[in-house]
Structure 1
Amino acid sequence: MTSAALNSVSAVVDHVFERYPQVARRAGRHDFDARLPAVLPDALHDVDRLLTAVRAQLDILPEHADPEVRADLGTAMRVLTDERFRIAELGRPHRGPELWLAEADVHGYLRGDYAPLDERVGALSRHLAGLPDFLAAAQETFGGALPAGERISGVENARARAASVPNLAAQLVAAHPEVAGDSLLRLADAARLAFLGFADAVAATRPTRAVHGPERLAAYLEAAEGIDIPVEELLAEAEAEVRHLAARLDALAARLGVSCREEAYGLMSARLPAGSVVTTLSGIIERLREFWAEQDVVTLTDRYGLDIRPARDAATSAAVVFDHAGALEPEPQPHVLHVPEPRDPAALRDYLNEPMLEIIAVHEAVPGHYLHHEATPRQAGLIRRCVPWFPGTTEGWAHYAEELAIERGLAEGRPLVEVAALRHALEAATRLLVFLSVHSGRRKFGEAAAEAATLCAWSPERAGREVLAVVAHPAGAMYTLGKLHIRRWREWAGVSDSAAELKSFHDRLLRCGSAPLSAVRRYHLDGRLVPAASTTTT
């Protein structure tokens, strides 16, 4: 990589770390421990200055330039254009509640032994001490109104943190009184009150619709992921995907001898884990390693390892969450899969039954998020290893992996596993359809919620929340959007069903790391054009 290109990408990484210290900590930069960002409006001129430098380097790249250089520059550009869209197009120089709350997360200090416990507890204490002032300042940035979906998630997230932080402190004091005492409990209680105040401030705002319109929607997709396909074409593709998945589910239900897909879901709900969810999921992942090794359609790696642990806080966590190892950790740490053990039997029946756990394991572990992070090589630039900015690629790959698993026979002789995969796919495709249709003006909120309830067998209350959530937070729409792009690339490349061709295609995509869809597409093409790429790092 030329020094000018290296400098322009490094400047963007520095910008992200300074403005979002939690991203730096997750990457393994512990000089950012206990650091909270300044609650100031993000300056457009800072973004434009960096964007000008990155675009200048892209403009002078020759056609056969090092693919690693082009991928790093393309990724840096999309980080900045995404930021610019929020600041300039949406008129939101301040972040929403979820991004502020992300900076308030303190669980990472106890994730692994990257430093002696007393040092990590010290950083945790300093972080907690700064939260009341930080959250008080952040809640002053809302301006009296927030998108309705942001209000709901902001209130719930803040209240969950108000419960989880004191629990974390109490458990730490009980387990390690020699390094954690009453002072930590007092700091945690002050943070609890600050989170509750933040939740109240979010709840006091006026809910807004915050719909883009077709032109701004197209601008967002281009800014965030480099997607230049017309919105109408994307919408038609989403509608076709929803119809296709619903038809497959209905046909599968008929083969199972039930009258509708809701009854097929009921068959899954009867297949409860025999033991704990952690134990069941661990066994499934080991079987999946054997399955994918036999299929040989993607290279399996295991540099950092995967720990499967109970959820950080059983009282507030109900989802399986993948936590990637930081590429910059001084002492290599494992990836971690946090798994809930729900007290509510309905959660086990509906979303943690054995067939659903099989698909969760594919998505979160092998060959989904875990393998994606494992496969990104050390020569990939830091921006593609340390800045998890692009759900179109990361969630798109993990969701594509679910489809690939069924294609390669994972559900052979086990039709309920296919029901689980199709159910998850239909729900994800419905979220994409809602996102595109509401923002483009094709559907009103109520119409979209009614349609989603019918398609996914959701209650009216859940359907309404899902619509508000995906309109406000596009990440939920990116599972299917990314999957459809990967599927399209595979077709364009003429990849056959042979294991060798699939392996070459998949390995190339994974090597690009966390990058926008446009950069991953170009990286794949560059890999076909350039036989041997440089291994220069950033």
Structure 2
Amino acid sequence: MVDYVFDHYPQVARRAGRHDFDGRLPEVAPDSLAELDGLLGAVTGRLDALPEDADPEVRADLGTAHRVLTDERFRITGAGRTHRGPDAWLAETDLHIYLRGDYAPLDERIGALSRHLGALPDFLAATARTLGRTLPAGERIGGVENARARAVSVRNMISRLVAARPELAEGPLLEQAGRASAAFTGFADAVAATQPVRAVLGPELLAGYLEAAEGVDIPVDELIAEAEAEVRDLTARLDALSARLGASTRQELYGLLSARLPEGSVTGTLARIIDRLQKFWAEQDVVTATGTQGLDIRPVRDLSTTAVVTFDTGGPLEKVPQPHVLHVPEPRDPAALRDYLNEPMLEMIAVHEVMPGHYLHHEATPAQAGLIRRCVPWFPGVTEGWAHYTEELAIERGLAEDRPLVEVAALRFALEAATRLLVFLSVHSGRSKFGAAAAEAATLCAWSPERAGREVLATASQPARAMYTLGKLHIRRWRELSGAGDSPTALKAFHDRLVRCGSAPLSTVRRYCLDDRSTASASTISEKEHP
């Protein structure tokens, strides 16, 4: 299964540390349903044959492989798409891995970079021919913007490299970068030439997607009710904080955040926050803190194309261990600092991205876990759900004590994430039209009508955006069923077991947690709850 993923998605292999895939691009051909069904039959047979007391690690590996295949199969049979969408094709064009770290001598890495760069024009031309006449509106907008950003980024990246190594100016890199940039622009034009459609799954296909992608079999109506309840709770808590802090509107409340600009650089502020968080979580002792690969905080790769904080994992298969990297912008636009890089928001970003969010999650997955759970970042329900849950956990454990604006920041992130889940479920189930969903999102999140419209279109076409809250709600339910309550010892056991499962679908992680108990206890609990 890992070979299947690496062959079809070479960028996943490179990110995992398999540099024999350097310079390789995937074949541009329709995905084979026969190949998928053959693999799926084999995995399903092995999974079904496992005894009740089978090794939980083996069951988790097979369960994860099963959902990779059912998710791929749904794209073909449920969504009717034998080719990937624009963003998935563009992910294979990423070149930053070659300059991320010293996993091999620089000349060797530059050689692989040159091979990859030189192949991009033909690859992008071939993938453009797979797009068809129509694309979901949000996917179309995102594809155009992504491709155009890469057209700028590839020139900037190679220019910086040549400036640092002037002797490379005599080689092919600058010319290759120019051709690749033009190819990205051409790909963007091809995406823009498609007709936007409001692709809606409908209630049956929506349920089928959630089952295929994450193993979620809770009825859609129940999921919508949960999302609506979460939105109501978050708005009530924000309204209470508004009254407490003397703000008459949500915009005014968020304005209090905007007034708290970082003292000094964003990078320096985040580093100080992370240091403080490490002490905080050590005192709380509700999750085991690990850090064998280390964390680097670096500037964003290209100031002209991004203004967000991103976490980049060090590959678990690297022969020369590489640190995880937190890429941090230093935006020139004061509005970016005020809106999402103010100090209270940075506190929550640090919780989500580093401690105890993504960084700890990646570090907690042990070396003996199967490669598919360590190397294939396929399942946002748990990866993003865990990181989002930790924001809530931080407030629960007192991170915002005597600092109400930190709680405002946490609730703002939570309300936006919950709204995206509600949008995704409501639009695809047919409960809401796009316009009504955008109007409701604008009101709930204090977004402009333009931003609300873009958020709705993007969320409808990118399910991962909805998985933050879906995953958090599942983890919250599992915690309640575990009986951990507020006991630090019990919470630590619950959290440690959850993150040890690694990157896996929600249904697999739940079974993995249950397998940590006696067979009888696990069977009793599993009969009383949704997976």
Match of 1:58? 47
TM-score of the pair, normalised by structure 1: 0.96
- More displaced stretch, 417-426 vs 274-283: 274-283
* Aligned equivalents of 1:406, 1:262: Cα separation in 2: 22
Match of 2:257 among 268, 276, 279: 268
Structure 1 residue 260, shift from structure 2 partner: 2.1
Q: 3-state DSSP class of the match of 2:199?
A: coil
User: Which residue matches 2:526?
Assistant: none
Q: Are residues 182 and 343 of structure 1, via their aligned partners in 2, closer, same or farther at CA, if it must alter by over 3 Å?
A: farther
Question: Aligned residue for 1:360?
Answer: 349
User: Contact between 1:121 and 1:179, CA under 8 Å: does it hold in 2?
Assistant: no
Residue number among 473, 492, 502 corresponding to 1:503 in the alignment:
492
Listed as ranges, the gaps of 5+ residues in structure 2 are: 521-531
Counterpart of 2:104? 115
Q: How far apart are 1:190 and its partner, in Å?
A: 0.5
Distance in 1 separating the partners of 2:367 and 2:170:
40
Aligned mate of 2:288, from 275, 281, 299: 299
The one-letter code of the counterpart of 1:235 is: I
Q: What letter matches 1:511 in structure 2? A: R
Q: Is the CA contact (8 Å cut-off) linking 1:64 and 1:529 kept in structure 2?
A: no
Q: How does 1:94-493 map to 2 (within 5 A)?
A: 94-179=83-168, 181-493=170-482
- C-alpha distance in 1 between matches for 2:112 and 2:286: 43
Give the structure 1 partner of residue 70 of structure 2: 81
Which amino acid is 2:374 matched to? R
Does the 8 Å contact 1:118/1:179 carry over to 2?
Answer: no
**Which of 30, 35, 40 lines up with 1:41 in the alignment?**
30
**Which deviates more from structure 2 when the two are superposed, residues 95-104 or residues 176-185?**
176-185
Q: Are 2:59 and 1:70 equivalent residues in the alignment?
A: yes
1:322 to partner: Cα distance: 0.5
Deviation at 1:530, TM superposition (A): 6.6
> Identical aligned pairs, as a percentage?
76
- TM-score, normalised relative to structure 2: 0.97
C-alpha distance in 1, partners of 2:308/2:36?
Answer: 34
Distance of 1:142 and 1:374 partners within structure 2: 38
CA deviations on 1:281-321 (whole Å, 9 max, x unpaired) are: 11100110000000000000011000010000011011111
Relative to structure 1, is the Cα distance of residues 180 and 501 closer, same or farther in structure 2, using a 3 angstrom cutoff?
A: farther
Which residue of structure 2 lines up, in the alignment, with residue 9 of structure 1?
Answer: none
- Asked whether the 8 Å contact 2:313–2:362 carries over to 1, the reply is yes
**Which amino acid in 1 is paired with 2:258?**
S
**TM-align CA RMSD:** 0.9
Q: CA deviation at 1:177?
A: 2.2
AA aligned to 2:444 is L
2:513 corresponds, among 503, 524, 531, to 524
**Kept after mapping to 2: 8 A contact 1:97/1:154:** yes
Structure 1 counterpart of 2:391, one-letter code = E
Q: 1: CA distance between counterparts of 2:283 and 2:132?
A: 56
- CA separation of 1:220/1:189 partners in 2, compared to 1, >3 Å: closer, same or farther? same
5+ long unaligned stretches in structure 1: 1-11, 532-538
The Cα shift of 1:176 comes to 1.5
Distance in 2 separating the partners of 1:413 and 1:180? 56
Where does residue 8 of structure 1 map in the other structure? none
- The one-letter code matched in structure 1 to 2:268 is T
1:68 aligned partner, one-letter code: E
CA distance in 2 between partners of 1:501 and 1:459 (Å): 43
Deviation at 1:90, TM superposition (A): 1.0
Alpha-carbon separation, structure 2, partners of 1:326 and 1:458:
37
- Measured after TM superposition, the shift of residue 261 of structure 1 is 2.1
The answer (yes or no) to whether the contact 2:52–2:519 under 8 Å persists in 1 is no
CA contact (8 A) 1:161 1:192 kept: yes
Q: Structure 1 residue 181: deviation in Å? A: 4.1
AA of the residue aligned to 1:367: P
Are the aligned partners of 2:420 and 2:459 in contact in 1 as well (CA < 8 Å)?
yes
Deviations 1:109-145 (A, max 9, x none): 1000000111111111110000000000000001111
Partners of 2:174 and 2:259 lie apart in 1 by 42
Q: Distance in 1 between matches of 2:136 and 2:300?
A: 29
How many angstroms apart in 2 are the aligned matches of 1:87 and 1:233? 27
Separation in 1, partners of 2:203, 2:290: 42
Aligned residue in 1 for 2:529: none
Q: Which amino acid aligns with 2:86?
A: P
Report the secondary structure of 2:135's partner residue: strand
After the TM superposition, which residues 7-26 of structure 1 pair with which residues of structure 2 at under 5 Å, given as runs? 12-26=1-15
Distance 1:276 1:200 in 2: 37
Q: Supply the AA of the counterpart residue of 1:189.
A: G
Structure 1 residue 195, shift from structure 2 partner: 0.2
- Secondary structure in structure 2 of the residue aligned to 1:337: strand
- Look up the equivalent residue of 1:105 and give its one-letter code: D
Once the two structures are TM-superposed, the CA of residue 183 in structure 1 deviates from its matched residue by 1.8
